[in-house]
Amino acid sequence: MASIPVSQPGVRDPQWTVRGLLAAHKVLALAVTAICALLVAMFLIAALNPKAGAVTDATTCTQWGSSNQSRQTTYARRYIQEHGPQAGARESPASVIAAINNGCMQAFGEDVADITTVAQAISGNF
């Protein structure tokens, strides 16, 4: 019996190219391209999203959690000036911040932190 050669001499295997792979697998290439575009878009939205601004009565609990301590203290002082101290609480920014944090934790637990404002969190009406 004669043996059959695995490859014929002088014939080279075809070279793989990106263009050839994309042409052979168009649907997969489109899906990978769409996923890459989505990931880049998500990264850009997160990177270019406006940073937390001044805290107001309309600031949501989600935004409150992203604001720094200085902005939280500034808002607490302004809240005391405009609304007076909390019922049964000392007139200190720390007590206002604690009331907001407690109300926002409850709002997070009830999955309404994106629509609950800090003013609602202080009063517990959300």
Residues 35 and 78 in one domain: no
- Between CA 44 and CA 42 the distance in angstroms is 5
Residues 42 and 72 in one domain: no
- Provide the residue range defining the domain that includes 42: 18-48
Residues 39 and 80 in one domain: no
Number of domains in the chain: 2
- Between CA 52 and CA 12 the distance in angstroms is 61
Residues 65 and 95 in one domain: yes
Residues 37 and 82 in one domain: no
Residues 65 and 36 in one domain: no
Task: Show Cβ contacts of residue 43 under 8 Å, excluding neighbours closer than 6 positions.
Answer: none
Q: Is 6 inside any structural domain?
A: no
Q: Taking a C-beta distance cutoff of 8 angstroms, is the pair 73, 93 a contact?
A: yes
Q: Is 102 inside any structural domain?
A: yes
Q: Is 4 inside any structural domain?
A: no
The tens-digit pLDDT sequence of the chain (126 residues) is 555 555 565 567 778 898 888 889 999 999 999 999 999 999 888 777 655 568 888 899 989 988 889 999 999 999 998 887 766 656 789 989 999 999 999 999 999 888 999 989 988 887
